[in-house]
């Protein structure tokens, strides 16, 4: 399975790190230049920055369209792909997990269930709604039905069926913060790998792992200086979003638990990168 690495042109060190990491794990990869919006008056930014639950910054809109570029490629190539942000750190057994995930489409068809999306990531203190039962076990990991994600788009596997659902959502509702946009799509047949085999580099300190490189967030919180139109719409969208989350939890209360994700001990076995 090929990896698509979303990388900002100026983040040379991050891409060098990803190249070393993926090569050491024998994973084929392609760099995807991050989508770039330069000005608040850019027509694309003006079209979409108020379509979420709050006004979005230039970097947030750019990040969304970077992921959309990856989704488009998944559909074009008609195959599942690993999508990584350039600050994703992979556990040492990642190759084994990815190899097993590449078989899932055939396995799911044989067993009569569909898979659109597999989240590989964990972020500290972010609880997810997970099935009480695992689906498969491989590489010292479990594949668990994910009913409600909370955050994180640094590492996931997406199938063409899932990419089509995400693009349909965009056409119907506009865009959003990339990870939250994915988590809001309840039509996705979503799964989680546990223990998580991806963390972002800025999460290393929380897990007692030495980060291979120093990183800082590339998300600029500044939004357009123009006053948001009809603020009540943002409040309503936020309320509707929270109600959907609450209803989703109630709907699965007998078959799922809301809890944090364990991370792989394989992070402590990582090879050293220069």
Q: In the chain, what are the domain boundaries?
A: 3-269
Model confidence, pTM: 0.91
CB 61 within 8 A of CB 54: no
Token digits of residue 20: 């070393």
- Three-point CA angle 12, 82, 167, nearest 5°: 100
pLDDT, one tens digit for every residue, the chain (274 residues): 999 999 999 999 999 999 999 999 999 999 999 999 988 989 999 999 999 999 999 999 999 999 999 999 999 999 999 999 999 999 999 999 999 998 876 555 545 568 999 999 998 878 999 999 887 888 989 999 999 998 789 999 999 999 999 999 999 999 999 999 999 999 999 999 999 999 999 998 888 888 888 876 656 666 665 666 678 888 988 899 899 999 999 999 999 999 999 999 888 766 666 5
Q: Which CATH class is domain 3-269?
A: alpha beta
Token digits of residue 31: 């760099």
Q: Give the closest residue to 66 by CA, choosing from 202, 165, 199, 178.
A: 178
Token digits of residue 210: 């030495």
CB 179 within 8 A of CB 153: yes
Token digits of residue 206: 């929380």
- List of residues 6+ apart from 227 with CB closer than 8 A: none
CB 156 within 8 A of CB 119: yes
List C-alpha distances in Å: 44 to 39, 65, 245.
10, 10, 29
Distance CA 59, CA 109 (A): 38
Cβ atoms within 10 Å, residue 52: 23
Q: What is the dihedral of CA 190, 166, 86, 131, to 10 degrees?
A: -10
Distance CA 38, CA 21 (A): 30
């Amino acid at each position: 399975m090929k990896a698509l690495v979303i990388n900002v042109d100026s983040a040379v060190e991050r891409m060098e790190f990803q190249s070393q990491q993926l090569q050491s794990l024998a994973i084929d990869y392609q760099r995807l230049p991050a989508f770039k919006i330069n000005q608040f008056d850019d027509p694309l930014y003006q079209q979409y920055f108020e379509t979420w639950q709050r006004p979005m910054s230039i970097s947030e809109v750019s990040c969304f369209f970077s992921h959309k570029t990856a989704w488009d490629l998944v559909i074009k190539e008609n195959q599942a792909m690993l999508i990584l942000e350039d600050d994703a750190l992979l556990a040492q057994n990642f190759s084994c997990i990815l190899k097993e995930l590449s078989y899932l489409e055939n396995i799911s068809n044989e067993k009569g269930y569909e898979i659109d999306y597999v989240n590989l990531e964990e972020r500290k203190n972010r609880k997810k709604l997970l099935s009480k039962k695992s689906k498969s076990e491989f590489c010292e990991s479990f594949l668990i039905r994910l009913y409600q994600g909370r955050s994180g788009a640094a590492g996931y596997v997406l199938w063409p069926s899932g990419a089509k659902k995400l693009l349909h959502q965009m056409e119907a509702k506009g865009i959003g913060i990339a990870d939250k946009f994915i988590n809001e799509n309840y039509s996705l047949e979503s799964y989680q790998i546990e223990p998580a085999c991806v963390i972002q580099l800025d999460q290393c300190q929380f897990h007692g792992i030495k980060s291979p490189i120093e990183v800082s967030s590339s998300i600029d919180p500044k939004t357009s200086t123009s006053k948001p139109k009809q603020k009540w719409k943002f409040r309503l969208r936020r309320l509707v979003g929270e109600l959907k989350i609450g209803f989703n939890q109630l709907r699965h209360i007998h078959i799922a638990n809301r809890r944090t994700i364990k991370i792989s001990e394989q992070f402590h076995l990582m090879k050293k990168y220069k």
